[in-house]
Structure 1
Amino acid sequence: MRVLTVCYEYPPIGGGGGVVAAALAAQLVRTGVDVDVVTSRFDHQPWRETLDGVAIHRHACKRRHRHYTSAAELMTTLLPAYNVASRIIKATAPSLIHTHFALPGGLVAWALSKRFELPYVVTVHGSDVPGYNPDRFHLPHRFINRAWRRVMRDAAVVTSPSHYLAGLIATQIDRPVQVIPNGHVVHTTGQRPAKENLVLVVARLFPRKGVQHFLEAIRDHDEGWEYVIAGDGPHMAALREMARTVRPRVRFTGFIPRDELQGLYQRARVFVFPSIKENFPMVLLEAMEAGCAVLTTDADGCAEVVGDAGIVFPAGDTAELSRSLRWLIDHPVACAELGTRSQARAALFTWPRIATAYSEAFGDAMNATAALYDQVK
């Protein structure tokens, strides 16, 4: 099998969707699948390189920030991605196209499918589904809703990381969606490093991520613990200003490389993810795999990831977040037990298991069958 993957962002740029695309591609290569990735070039990245056995082909686009992109900037990826992908198809004859995000990559995959008579698989990630992220993409979705429906309708297979997002799709278009959770890379093996009195938040800094609620929740907390917010985004300045009004000192790391981020996960005793709306947040899996006690909201995707292995509070409820965090700080044994439970649950979402599900979905697409999709529990 040879897979052509289209994803407008790919590490080290972008967020969770790119991380998923890279990890899945690397795992597929380990199983004997050839993978070419078409993605955006940012800053001084090489136009082409091979990482973890994956051939990465970058194209020109307009992009000002490493950690996020605007709807207008996304549109500048369409023609360059199509042209680069066309050359790869002519040279390598892939078995199918796999696009991460229905938009913009789905438009590219749809056009390539028509030209080269190749099946394509769409994996949605959240903001590419109308209604998921109205604070950023409401107007763009209104203008291109017909194109979105065509991309989704003509795909051989559509996958979603969460039942929540699959349900949102079902309210808008009548087609089967296979739920395949995101996976994570296992970093912690054997004896875990000793935890420190560190409360960690990792997020792209948009209002939707709820970091402002975390700062409000710790306003009167003691100064004995370390509080760290890792990530960058347009809400950074406002959050820094807010942090000056809370009692404990809060350290902002900005954007940091993944190896440094992994070190923070390993050190943190408690991980807080206060997002208001999510699909399947990768940072939760990463924190759980590192054995953090997890506090997160009842936003659909968050609760789906942690199950009963974390403490779930109502989104935006700063009082409940504050009480739950104080309880974990005051009960170190219970905090450690919760970290053990979260690590055990994270073991259910390893990439070998998840990649197998994708391989089966790719087989369905190549066979052009009307497969019945079993939901992943």
Structure 2
Amino acid sequence: MKILMLCYEYPPIGGGGAKVVQGLSAELVRHGHQIDLVTMGYKNLPRHEKSDTLNIYRVKCPRLKANICTPVEMITYMVFALPLILKLCRNNKYHINHTHFIYPDGFLAYIINKLTNLPYVITAHGSDVPGYNPDRFKVLHILLTPIWRIITSRSEKLIMPSRSLNNLVKKVVPDVRTTIIPNGINLDKFSAGEKRENKILVVSRMFERKGVQYFIHALSGLNNDFIINIVGEGPYLNDLKKLAKDSQTKINFWGFLDNDSKELRELYESSKIFVFTSAAENFPVVLLEAMISGLAIITTNDTGCAEVVGSDSILVNPKDPSAIREALKRLIDNPDLCDRLGKFARKRAEKFFGWNTVTLKHIALYSQNRNNIKTVYSEEIISA
């Protein structure tokens, strides 16, 4: 199949959604499909990268930060991406458009569909769903919810990485067509080695809802020799650094690390415990990275995190430092449990979340829609 892929974030920019698009695209290519990917440009990244079956087109955009994108930057991306996408549709016969994020790319998918009848599916990633993270886009979601309903209702299928996000979407549009396909991970990206050091790792974008502050509070009163490493950037980072100054535990802040960097790989592979205590999550890729690295994981229940790790981790309530502290103490005092949970996590990732397994589900969905769609993709409309 020839697939048009839209996502405003693609490595080295973006977060978990960007990693998902990169992994899925690579695996689709491995299965013999051709991908044209349209994404946002950033600084000196090449405008066009071409291989036999994967073409990456980067749209000129005044994006300031690799890990955060503002609404204004998204609007700029849409304005410049639309004519490029129309040109690609004019020159190619796509079977389907797989769009990631209902905003901003879903808006583009909807317009392209209206102009060309090119069918689209959308993978939602969380921040594009009303009610998911009111700390960032509450007002924007209120204003755009009517358009959001139109975009999702027009899609052939809305792909949900988790049941929790699916339930949230159904509250907004009860009759929207959804299917649940989890995010995937390259099982060879990190290794679950036997040589571990007394290190606790946190990898996250630094927003208040991510709950890193509760982890820092939880360190109070813990008697241990563990080294604390926190990776990530965001608007809440300075607040966390101020909080860390009052902690008796030495905390290392690494800032943003490229996902393919040697430093990030070494942190995952040398640590024993991974902590991710967000109050609202869909299907965080950092948990998959921790799982394939064989780390014992502490994360939150009542979020998509619990669906990722299953019973092979310690679950705590969001915003509860005392529960996090007890979980840390349990793992620190029981190295055998720590090791066992890490091995279980790796096995769970291998069984359910390898990219080959996940991609086959996407291919089945594309094929199903290809056979069922009655509308005809029209090159004449866009060439007129």
Structure 2 equivalent of residue 373 of structure 1: none
How many Å separate the matches in 1 of 2:39 and 2:249? 41
Structure 2 equivalent of residue 357 of structure 1: 361
1:367 shift after superposition: 2.2
How many Å separate the matches in 1 of 2:208 and 2:190? 35
Q: In the alignment, is the contact (CA less than 8 A) between 1:71 and 1:137 conserved in 2? A: no
Structure 2 equivalent of residue 374 of structure 1: none
1:319 to 2:301 alignment: no
Q: Deviations over 1:323-364 (max 9, x none)?
A: 110110111111101111111111121000100100111112
Structure 1 equivalent of residue 281 of structure 2: 278
Q: Deviations over 1:144-193 (max 9, x none)?
A: 11111111001011111001111111111112210000000112688724
Q: In the alignment, is the contact (CA less than 8 A) between 1:223 and 1:247 conserved in 2? A: no
Q: In the alignment, is the contact (CA less than 8 A) between 2:204 and 2:210 conserved in 1? A: yes
1:112 shift after superposition: 0.7
Q: In the alignment, is the contact (CA less than 8 A) between 1:226 and 1:249 conserved in 2? A: yes
How many Å separate the matches in 1 of 2:368 and 2:176? 15
How many Å separate the matches in 2 of 1:79 and 1:197? 49
**Please, which moves more after superposition, 16-25 or 46-55?**
46-55
- The alignment yields a C-alpha RMSD, in angstroms, of 1.6
Q: In the alignment, is the contact (CA less than 8 A) between 1:120 and 1:365 conserved in 2? A: no
Structure 2 equivalent of residue 251 of structure 1: 252
Structure 2 equivalent of residue 15 of structure 1: 15
Matches within 5 A, 1:360-375: 360-368=364-372
Q: In the alignment, is the contact (CA less than 8 A) between 1:26 and 1:52 conserved in 2? A: no
**Please, which moves more after superposition, 189-198 or 315-324?**
189-198
**Please, which moves more after superposition, 283-292 or 171-180?**
171-180
1:368 shift after superposition: 3.0
Structure 2 equivalent of residue 302 of structure 1: 305
Decide which of 341, 345, 364 is 2:344's aligned counterpart.
Answer: 341
How many Å separate the matches in 1 of 2:355 and 2:67? 24
How many Å separate the matches in 1 of 2:91 and 2:159? 28
Structure 2 equivalent of residue 47 of structure 1: 47
Matches within 5 A, 1:113-192: 113-173=113-173, 174-187=175-188, 192=193
Is the partner of 2:200 in helix, strand or coil?
A: strand
1:233 to 2:256 alignment: no
Is the partner of 2:42 in helix, strand or coil?
A: coil
**TM-score of the aligned structures, taking structure 1 as reference length:** 0.95
Is the partner of 1:125 in helix, strand or coil?
A: coil
Identity of aligned residues (%): 37
Structure 1 residues 36 and 227: CA distance shift in structure 2, 3 A: same
1:2 to 2:5 alignment: no
Structure 1 residues 191 and 317: CA distance shift in structure 2, 3 A: closer
Q: In the alignment, is the contact (CA less than 8 A) between 1:268 and 1:292 conserved in 2? A: yes
1:77 shift after superposition: 1.3
Structure 1 residues 186 and 52: CA distance shift in structure 2, 3 A: farther
How many Å separate the matches in 1 of 2:323 and 2:236? 23
State how many pairs are aligned. Answer: 370
Structure 1 residues 228 and 51: CA distance shift in structure 2, 3 A: farther
**Please, which moves more after superposition, 142-151 or 33-42?**
142-151
1:94 to 2:97 alignment: no
Moved over 6 A (4+): 188-191
Gaps spanning 5+ residues in structure 1: where?
371-377
1:265 shift after superposition: 0.9
Q: In the alignment, is the contact (CA less than 8 A) between 2:190 and 2:289 conserved in 1? A: no
Is the partner of 1:171 in helix, strand or coil?
A: helix
Is the partner of 2:272 in helix, strand or coil?
A: strand
Is the partner of 2:254 in helix, strand or coil?
A: strand
How many Å separate the matches in 1 of 2:192 and 2:281? 32
Letter in 2 for 1:328: L
How many Å separate the matches in 2 of 1:99 and 1:206? 25
Letter in 2 for 1:68: I
How many Å separate the matches in 1 of 2:51 and 2:279? 34
Structure 1 residues 125 and 36: CA distance shift in structure 2, 3 A: same
Q: Deviations over 1:304-329 (max 9, x none)?
A: 11110000000011001001101101
**TM-score of the aligned structures, taking structure 2 as reference length:** 0.93
Q: Deviations over 1:207-260 (max 9, x none)?
A: 011000110001232351110001111111111111111111000111112233
How many Å separate the matches in 2 of 1:184 and 1:21? 11
Q: Deviations over 1:249-298 (max 9, x none)?
A: 00011111223322211111000001111000000011011100000011
How many Å separate the matches in 2 of 1:264 and 1:77? 34
Q: In the alignment, is the contact (CA less than 8 A) between 2:2 and 2:33 conserved in 1? A: yes
